[in-house]
A and B are shown apart, each in its own frame.
Chain A
Amino acid sequence: MKTFDIPTFECETGNYHTFCPISCVAWLYQKIEDSFFLVVGTKTRGYFLQNAPGVMIFAEPRYAMAESEEGDISAQLNDQKELERICLRVKNDRNPSVIIWIGTCTTEIIKMDSEGIAPKMEKQLGIPIVVARANGLDHAFTQGEDTVLAAMTHRCPEFNPRIMNQQKRDTAKPVVVDVSPSNKFSDKKHELNRCSLVLFGSLPSSVASQSNLELKRQSISVSGWLPSQKYNELPALGEGVYVCGVNPFLSRTATASTRRRKCQLVGAPFPIGPDGTRAWIEKICSVFDVKPNGLEERENQIWKILSDYLKIIMGKSVFFMGDNLLEISIARFLIRCGMVVYEVGIPYMDRRYQAAELLLLQHTCRKMKKPMPRIVEKPDNYSQVQRMHELQPDLAITGMAHANPLEARDINTKWSVEFTFAQIHGSVNARDALELVTRPLRRRGESVSDCRSLSRQTLHV
């Protein structure tokens, strides 16, 4: 692997605000239609889920808390029996195809042996039980999805090149929406390659099929997605399967699929922004020995569509406080759009998994003649706010805890959480991503009042 020198990697105190990784259930239960997520932990976590994903709770979600009580903590009650009782009720009420246990800090601290209990109960109940430890001790926000997907790689069927064609029909069809026109052709091509491409990362199904389509234009067909729309449609993994991530926070999944399932990882930048999408496709093409076709025209075409947004943000500065690990990719995209990025805060930086993305960031900075942003791992929010007061960026991308106070201090903000829920992947959605970024800038007309800062604190001082 190439080493490269990025001078400004820093690490601060880790005193920053982010969502608890269990928040991943809010989007994963919608993605995996026949799943049920059971979060094992205390009220603190339940209250978070209730307040963070907001009103979704009222739509009879397929997730719930197994709320630990005092007896569970002090081991007066037997974990296995308690979980058994609850899972049985879930099975009777909802009849899911898979139950996913989300371990929290509580289960870590009391050292509940979820991985040990799960196989026993699986046998008893006749429902697969996947254990993911998405806790705030080790992970931040989107990394929750990473733990779930990493656990799921073990449940994927074994890849067998000989029966691949048949399997392909079983697994890929529901995901690939327009599979019909060139299906035969790509099947043939796959037979030649005797290889298969699986993409990992949960995307809304429309975005997933857009990505499939983009790759199909290069005659590469995607044999499956992790996660799939249904649990029993998980893609086959094994030797001869190439895997490629669509999101920057999936390093565990990448590791699990390469080390445990012997897949080969395609290390590419992530398909965010037209530049990222192009680089992503090019990298995949190079692995499959396909000469990319018409990518440059397509990218230029997309940039042309974006021109009205680009006018707004060109030359403006942005500061990422960092809470969801998408920061590097979005920063790279925004620099390509002509913005200046002061700082990229990021909860955790996997330099190997994100290597290609970091390289693209460097190239982009050089190409656009912009300074390389400083990358701050485990940032300290208090220090960041001090820096922001000095730098006065045109836009701060930040969590909801800081958004209103920063706005009151006359710094435009965009909630970072929206980037995880909006559709920002692929060329088609580049506009949506910029729509988000430019919203606070477009909204800003003349100042409402004469006072620069609407904060109460500074008025008092």
Chain B
Amino acid sequence: MKLAYWMYAGPAHIGTLRVASSFKNVHAIMHAPLGDDYFNVMRSMSERERDFTPVTASVVDRHVLARGSQEKVINNISRKDEEQRPDLIVLTPTCTSSILQEDLQNFVDRASLSSESDVILADVNYHRVNELQAADRTLEQIIRFHLDRARKRSILDRSVTNTPSANIIGIFTLGFHNQHDCRELKRLPGESGIAVNQVIPEGGYLKDLRDLPRAWFNIVPYREVGLMTATFSENEYGMPYISITPMGISNTADFIAQIGKLVNVWASALSGKRLNYKLYVDNQTKFVSQAAWFSKSIDCQNLAGKEAAIFGDATHAASITKILVKEMGIRVSCSGTYCKHDAERFNEQVQGLCSEILVTEDHTEVGDTIARIEPSVIFGTQMERHIGKRIDIPCGVISSPVHIQNSPLGYRPFLGYEGTNQIADLIYNSFNLGMEDHSPDVFGGHDTKGISTKSLSTDRNDINWTPEAESEPNRIPGFVRGKTKKNTETFAKGNNISEITIDVTYAAKEKSSP
């Protein structure tokens, strides 16, 4: 047993549900007790989803505990099949079903005999994998299921498209800025003449999956989800994939270079033409993205050598670390991730960019580390934002787990050239707020003028402040200023002093301090 207050990645079934509910017309049935369907709340609230989340529970209650689910799961599957005619029903095990060890596969086999919809059992082990790994696995499972079947029925179209095209894999619900990233990702290859074949799972219909292998290559923007599907397609269908995250200028350039390389292998064979992306990258970097200019501008000079701490999922934490260090000259004292399963690769990515690497799922460890190194800014998850609040360090949120405020309505991609602009804003604003916060302390507060025109004390008519004395309370932190002034006045009255000079203020201070 483990004492835990908070977790970065959720339990496995959340990952499965995120993938299943991202596809169109796919329904997930959880084998779970009452109250475990809070995924619907998360999706409906955080994503402001306007449609009913296609997730229901086959409720495990006392009767199930005593006699087993028996026909219950099968009935629930058939019922959903009749009510909504989904293309696929995903039976989702939870921790409860993993402890009960019911033969869910058997239910699935029996239910699929009678139902119009396809039925599969999500192959995730509650104890072994977390939310992200489960999502990765479920996505691969669904794709594999459909491609294998299409191949058996020989309706699989294996001819590649005439013009270059790509699949984008791993965009899904409750992902950090995924919707915006997706729009940006469609644009990025699109502008260089590459069509998007399919985006999965978000908004995809299963019947279209058989066209998946028609793309020239796959794009996996996030390391956490999609890699398994990409490897599967590579092994089975010989589709290459790009797993560079186009976040930040240099990563985006690498990403495009990689596209160029992949496309040119085929393009020269197909049309004899070679595509050159260098000019495109140059133009984008100079004119679309402001980030390159920004990092040269004197604004960014001020940030040089400032210290930051970074924590998040592997994709975002590694990319932001790279951006801060290589593109903005900011020192990263600590970079970390909660994706323990991807630790090796993360180490490799941020090696040499930061002084400390932290791989942990324990938020108190992250908090302690941040408190110890006292960076001038934090980039992390909502948890780090709260740590920052407590120790008074500004924080920019760069990764899930997220809050509703991380599902902005406005266009806020993190990927591509527009993404570089957004990230630059985020970084600069976090720092800027930090500076603003500190300079008032140094100079004695924002309202150095205001205090001489309006007074907090009510009976100031009888007492006169000399200008020098007047300025004295301004050096005191704002929240005790009023009180100090009042104390001084009381002191003056008590000693029959009609004019408060600077000496009087000191005398009063002496009297009041023990």
Contacts and interface: CB of A to CB of B under 8 A. Distances in A.
Interface of A: 14-15, 17-23, 40, 42-44, 46-48, 50-52, 55, 57-58, 61, 64-70, 72-73, 77, 82-83, 85-86, 89-90, 105-106, 108-110, 135-141, 382, 385, 399-405, 407-408, 454-457
Given A15-B57, A69-B2, A401 B41 contact: yes
Contacts of A19: 35, 38
Contacts of A135: 33
B35 A50 contact: no
B50 to A, nearest CB: 4
Nearest to A453: B50
A43 B1 contact: no
B49 A64 contact: no
A449 B42 CA distance: 27
Contacts of A400: 41, 44-45
30 contacts: A15-B59, A18-B35, A19-B38, A42-B11, A42-B126, A43-B11, A44-B96, A51-B41, A55-B386, A64-B5, A67-B2, A69-B2, A73-B99, A73-B127, A86-B3, A89-B3, A105-B33, A108-B65, A135-B33, A137-B34, A140-B34, A141-B35, A382-B56, A400-B41, A401-B37, A404-B44, A405-B50, A407-B50, A455-B50, A457-B51
User: Which range holds the interface residue count of chain B?
Assistant: 35 or more
Contacts of A22: 35
Contacts of B99: 73, 106, 109-110
Given A43-B7, A83-B1, A136-B33, A48 B38 contact: yes
Contacts, number: 158
A90 B3 CA distance: 9
B104 to A, nearest CB: 15
A20 B2 contact: no
Given A44-B13, A44-B96, A69-B1, 18 more contacts: A17-B41, A42-B11, A46-B4, A51-B38, A52-B41, A61-B5, A64-B4, A65-B5, A66-B4, A136-B32, A136-B36, A137-B34, A137-B62, A138-B62, A382-B83, A404-B50, A405-B51, A405-B52
A43 B76 CA distance: 25
B35 A82 contact: no
Contacts of B38: 19-20, 48, 51-52, 401
B95 interface: yes
B10 interface: yes
B65 A44 contact: no
Contacts of A405: 44, 49-53
A50 B381 CA distance: 14
A455 B1 contact: no
A72 B60 CA distance: 21
B179 to A, nearest CB: 13
Contacts of A64: 3-5
B468 interface: no
A136 B4 contact: no
B329 to A, nearest CB: 32
A15 B36 contact: no
